[in-house]
Chain A
Amino acid sequence: MAKHETPLLDQLESGPWPSFVSDLKHQAEIRAKNEEGVEFQIPQDSVEDLLGVLELSYKHGRTHWKHGGIVGVFGYGGGVIGRYCDQPKLFPGVEHFHTMRVAQPCGKYYKTDFLRQLTKLWDLRGSGVTNMHGSTGDIILLGTTTPQLEEIFYTLTHEMNQDLGGSGSNLRTPADCLGESRCEYACYDSNALCHFLTNEFQDELHRPAFPYKFKFKLDACPNGCVASIARADMSFIGTWRDGIKVDQDAVNKYVENDPAYPPNAGAHKDGNWGPFDIEKEVLSLCPTKCMKFENKTLKIDNANCTRCMHCINTMPRALKIGDDRGLSILVGAKAPILDGAQMGSLLAPFVEVNPENDYEAITEVIENVWDWWMEEGKNRERLGELIMRQGFQKLLEVTGIDPMPQHVAYPRTNPYIFWKEDEVEGGWERDVAEYRKHHLR
């Protein structure tokens, strides 16, 4: 018998999808039975009360959580988010129900014994409820009390070699795709760069430094499996400078519908698409129309290629990413807080990825951007909003990057170019007498 009646939540279980309500009920039952004899350090019925407070929120149409607090672990300004219930008498099990963010491993690779250790720790010192993974990318541990925080932090850091993630006005835990570990399209080792940035900017991750949150996300190719272009204040997207490598024989195998060369690597083979048509499925879908197929030869005008990846995805055995690889840095993406959702804007079209010199070219851009944002950003203003407020031109100035055609998304839409005096031959001063010789008043 459940501790609280939850008719509204029960209704959520009736849909065809996996339900978090069922998961929570399952967890509540496990805690109630406690077959493993865990010495719970927070109330045993906390998950029952979690269901209860959620039911009440649905009934009232408003939240019963209080947001934020001074909770944290010593020396860290992030990683823990205070949560308090405003109905502690009704739901004492969730009176204090703090969230902990734990940094996810690069590419989210786990060993099963690590996961067992983590869940064992969380069953003991927390509610046992997790969110794998939160939209930040972190491992989210939901629900514990203040005295447990330092204990959990100690076990994580000393026994599991595991750090907390970012929250608050910090650098958030950098998130990356699988990169070269699994993927032939990877233009750089996103796991290595993610690990490097996480270590290099430890201070920014743990000690609040910024006007607001700041996110790095890393996609090793423009397919963008972590959608960094939409989700990160600074996204690092793999690219190449030379041409797409073409194997003409393989292209012709695709065109001849050779069964060993299924389009899209066979990803959509169950659909009734008819025979592969290179014109319809590749050439006409190229956003810059930079390809043509004549006399059994595929030609690509690489100067006009925007690295959309469509042709490579469709004919992966015939087309490969180029050899001169690096990454593009885009800045300013964010979810819709002010001015609506924004995608990242291209700041540096090609940056070399060189672990030998500690990714110098990348960290230089990061630090210049941060210096500007820390100085000029208003409280709770994201980088994308600062760029909108002060202009992309200002960003180029502070990063020392010259304007270039790749910065222009749509030409001929903005007639205003603000020249500075030192950019104009002769400056603003002119010889009026000389001018009047040729132009009467």
Chain B
Amino acid sequence: MSDLLSNKEESTKAVVDFLTKKAKNKTKFYIKDFYAIFPDDKPRAIKNVINAMVTDGILEFWSSGSTTMYGLKGAGKQHSSEGEE
């Protein structure tokens, strides 16, 4: 695992920066989009870190039923826009 991915603070910052930078055009991302942030790491290690960020409440899943995407928690379309709390 690279130093960047194994350092929780730095990897979180890198992911949040990446998503914030793109937030104007896009709020949901495929798992593969995160590979670019950690070019030296294996997909499985990246997946584990990204999923941990979901558990920590930094990111959230969006699922169409067939595909799952990730976004910053609270970004883009939310429950409230569907009339839910």
Q: Mark A42-72, 1 if CB is under 8 A from B, else 0.
A: 0000000000000000000000001111111
B residues contacting A by CB (< 8 A) are: 30-32, 42-44, 47, 51, 54-55, 60-68, 70, 77-79, 82-85
A-B contact pairs, 8 of them (CB 8 A): A66-B82, A69-B62, A69-B82, A77-B54, A80-B63, A96-B84, A167-B63, A208-B61
Quick check: which of A306-314, A372-380, A409-417 contacts chain B, the rest being far away?
A372-380
Q: How far is the CA of A95 from the CA of B83 in the complex (A)?
A: 8
Report if A344 contacts B (CB, 8 A). Answer: no
Report if A169 contacts B (CB, 8 A). Answer: yes
**Smallest CB gap from B32: residue in A:** A379
Q: How many A-B residue pairs have CB under 8 A?
A: 101
Pick the residue among A68, A96, A375 that contacts B64 (CB under 8 A). A68
Q: How far is the CA of A71 from the CA of B80 in the complex (A)?
A: 12
**Smallest CB gap from B73: residue in A:** A70
Quick check: which of A210-218, A297-305, A383-391 contacts chain B, the rest being far away?
A210-218
Instruction: Note all chain A residues with C-beta closer than 8 A to B77.
Output: 69-70
Which residues in window 74-104 of A have CB below 8 A to B?
74-75, 77-78, 80-82, 84, 88, 95-96, 99
Q: How far is the CB of A35 from chain B (nearest CB, A)?
A: 31
Q: How far is the CA of A409 from the CA of B24 in the complex (A)?
A: 50
Instruction: Note all chain A residues with C-beta closer than 8 A to B78.
Output: 70
Task: Classify the interface of chain B: helix, strand, loop or mixed.
Answer: mixed
Pick the residue among B42, B55, B70, B84 that contacts A75 (CB under 8 A). B55
Report if A145 contacts B (CB, 8 A). Answer: yes
Whether the Cβ atoms of B68 and A170 lie closer than 8 Å is: yes
Whether the Cβ atoms of A82 and B83 lie closer than 8 Å is: no
Whether the Cβ atoms of A210 and B31 lie closer than 8 Å is: yes
Task: Classify the interface of chain A: helix, strand, loop or mixed.
Answer: loop
Report if A316 contacts B (CB, 8 A). Answer: no
Given contacts A70-B78, A84-B82, A169-B67, contact A209 B61 (CB under 8 A): no
Instruction: Note all chain A residues with C-beta closer than 8 A to B30.
Output: 169, 211, 379
**Smallest CB gap from A146: residue in B:** B84
Whether the Cβ atoms of B83 and A88 lie closer than 8 Å is: yes
Whether the Cβ atoms of A69 and B32 lie closer than 8 Å is: no
Q: How far is the CB of A53 from chain B (nearest CB, A)?
A: 15
Q: How far is the CB of B35 from chain A (nearest CB, A)?
A: 8
Pick the residue among A167, A209, A378 that contacts B65 (CB under 8 A). A167
Whether the Cβ atoms of B83 and A78 lie closer than 8 Å is: no
Q: How far is the CB of B42 from chain A (nearest CB, A)?
A: 8
Whether the Cβ atoms of A208 and B64 lie closer than 8 Å is: no
Report if A281 contacts B (CB, 8 A). Answer: no
Report if A253 contacts B (CB, 8 A). Answer: no
Whether the Cβ atoms of A99 and B65 lie closer than 8 Å is: yes
Pick the residue among A75, A77, A88, A209 that contacts B63 (CB under 8 A). A77
Whether the Cβ atoms of A375 and B43 lie closer than 8 Å is: yes
